[in-house]
Amino acid sequence: MAEFTMELNDEQKEVRDWIHGFAADVVRPAAAEWDEREETPWPVIQEAAKIGLYSLDFYAQQFFDPTGLGVPMTMEELFWGDAGIALSIVGTGLAAVGVLANGTEEQIGTWVPQMYGDANDVKVAAFCSSEPDAGSDVASMRTRAVYDEAKDEWVLNGTKTWATNGGIANVHVVVAVVDPELGSKGHASFIVPPNTPGLSQGQKFKKHGIRASHTAEVVLEDVRVPGHCLLGGKDKLDERLARAREKAKAGGERVKNAAMATFEASRPAVGAMAVGTARAAYEEALEYATTREQFGRPIIDNQGVAFQLADMRTQIDAARLLVWRASWMATTGKPFTSAEGSMSKLFASETAKKVTAQAIQILGGNGFTREYPVERMHRDAAIYTIFEGTSEIQRLVIARTLSGMPIR
C-alpha cells in the first residue's frame, strides 16, 4: 500500500509537465475557437491521440497509479488548459471505466479499443445514465432492457439525457432497468455497438459553458443488442438479482446503492477538473493584478485586490488537498466513512465558481469580455456544481453518511 504523500515523484512530475505542455501549446490556443463553434474539437483530440494522451494505455496507467494521484493530476492540468476541450478528451473515459469496472475480460478487450480508435481515425464513446426524470435519483430510471431468450438479445427502450458524446459516439454504454421491482438494484449496463439500429441522437444542448464538449440526448427505440453485450454476462446478473430479491423479501440488510457508490469514488476526479479551472483563472487574475496600473501603481498594491488573491490561492490549495486525499483513499481501499469523495467534489466545485467570479472582478470590464479567458472559465465553472451530483446532493450524501442514514 502506497503511503500518503503530498510530493509527486519524479515520474509523476515528468507526466504532469508533459500534459501541461500539451495544455499550454495545443489546448489553450484552440479554446476560444471551439467554445464559439460549440463543436467537438476533433483536430485537438487527434493531436492528443498522436502523442498517446488520448489512449486507453495512458489512462490505465494513471488509473492504476498506486498513489492515487495520477488521475487528479491529469485532470487538473488538462482542465487548466480549457474545460470544454478537456472534457472532449476525457469524456470517453467515463464509458471505458464503466466497461472496465463491470465487464468481462473479453468485453474489455473487444469494446474499449473501439472507444478510442487510433491516431488516424479517432473515436469517442458515451456513458448514458441520466434521464429527463432521473439524474441524481437513479432509482427513478425508466429506460428498460428486456431479454428476448429466443434470440439471446436484449431490447432497450428509453431516452437518456446529458450524455457526453451522446449520438456521435462509436460505442455507447447504456444503464437500463432489468427488474423494476428492485429499484436501483435492478439496473444493468449494456454495450450498444456502432451503427446499431434504433439508437439516435436527440436534442443537442446549447450550453452556458463547456461548449466544446458535445452533450445530447440519446433515444433508444427497440434497440436490440446481442446477449454478450450485457456487461458482466447474464449469469452474473441473475445471481446479483437473486440476492437482491432475497434481501428485499426478507426485509433485512440494506444494500448500498451501487450507482451512488460508484459516483462517490469518481467524484474526486471531477473535483480535480474544478481545481484546474480555478487555478487557471487565479493565474490570469494574478498576472493582471501585477501588471495593471491604476492611480500610479499595480492594482495588487490595493488591499482589496491582494486579499482576494490570497483567498483564491488558499481555497485552490485546500481543494486540491481534499481531492488528493479522497483519490488516495479510493486507490488504497480506505472507506469513505465521512463521504470524503463528495467532500472533495463539493469544495472544489464551489471554489471554482467563486474563484472564477473573483477573477472577473479583478479584471474589471476586461474580465467581462471574451477578449480575456476568465469570462469563459467562469461559464465553464458553473457545470462543476451540477454534473456528477449537484452541490446539494453532495451535502445530502455527506450529511447522511455522517448520520448513518442510508444513501438511496
pLDDT at 256: 45
Say if residue 145 is in the same domain as residue 114.
no
pLDDT at 20: 98
How many domains, in total, are found in the chain?
3
pLDDT digits (tens, 9 = 90+) for 221-245: 999 999 999 999 999 999 999 988 8
H/E segment holding residue 136 = none
Say if residue 390 is in the same domain as residue 280.
yes
Task: Show which of 122, 150, 174 is a domain's final residue.
Answer: 122
Residue 293 backbone dihedrals phi, psi, to 5 degrees: -110, 140
Say if residue 131 is in the same domain as residue 112.
no
Say if residue 131 is in the same domain as residue 113.
no
User: What's the rounded Cα separation, in Å, for the pair 173 and 368?
Assistant: 39
Measured from the Cβ of residue 194, the count of other Cβ atoms closer than 10 Å reads 11
β-pair partners for 157:
144
The Cα-based distances of 282 to 226, 311, 314, 322, 343 in angstroms read 50, 10, 11, 19, 22
Measured from the Cβ of residue 400, the count of other Cβ atoms closer than 10 Å reads 15
Does residue 144 sit in helix, strand or coil? strand
**Ranges in the chain, pLDDT < 50:** 252-259, 261
Beta strands 153-164 and 215-226 are antiparallel
**114 found inside a domain:** yes
Task: Show which of 183, 217, 247 is a domain's final residue.
Answer: 247
Q: Name every residue whose Cβ is closer than 8 Å to that of residue 103 and which is 6 or more positions away in sequence.
A: 111, 231, 232
User: What's the rounded Cα separation, in Å, for the pair 129 and 127?
Assistant: 6
**381 found inside a domain:** yes
User: What's the rounded Cα separation, in Å, for the pair 360 and 243?
Assistant: 54
pLDDT at 100: 87
Say if residue 296 is in the same domain as residue 176.
no
Full-prediction pTM beyond 0.85? yes
Check if the beta carbon of residue 207 is closer than 8 Å to that of residue 231.
no
**Cα Rg of the chain (Å, integer):** 22
* CB hemisphere CA count around 360 (13 angstroms): 15
β-pair partners for 122:
117
What CATH number is associated with residue 349? 1.20.140.10
Residue ranges in 54-103 assigned as alpha helix (H): 56-63, 70-81, 83-90, 92-102
Say if residue 198 is in the same domain as residue 295.
no
Task: Show which of 83, 98, 122 is a domain's final residue.
Answer: 122
Burial 112-125, CB ≥16 within 10 A → b, else e: beebbbebeebbbb
Domain of 196?
125-247
Residues annotated as catalytic (active site), given as ranges? 388
**5 found inside a domain:** no
What CATH number is associated with residue 116? 1.10.540.10
User: What's the rounded Cα separation, in Å, for the pair 100 and 102?
Assistant: 6
Q: Name every residue whose Cβ is closer than 8 Å to that of residue 322 and which is 6 or more positions away in sequence.
A: 271, 340, 343, 344, 347, 348
Say if residue 87 is in the same domain as residue 162.
no
Say if residue 86 is in the same domain as residue 133.
no
Measured from the Cβ of residue 265, the count of other Cβ atoms closer than 10 Å reads 18
β-pair partners for 192:
172
Say if residue 223 is in the same domain as residue 264.
no
What CATH number is associated with residue 164? 2.40.110.10
Q: What share of the chain is helix, strand, coil (3-state, %, to 5)?
A: 60, 15, 25
User: What's the rounded Cα separation, in Å, for the pair 281 and 334?
Assistant: 33
**252 found inside a domain:** no
Say if residue 118 is in the same domain as residue 132.
no
**75 found inside a domain:** yes
pLDDT at 258: 44
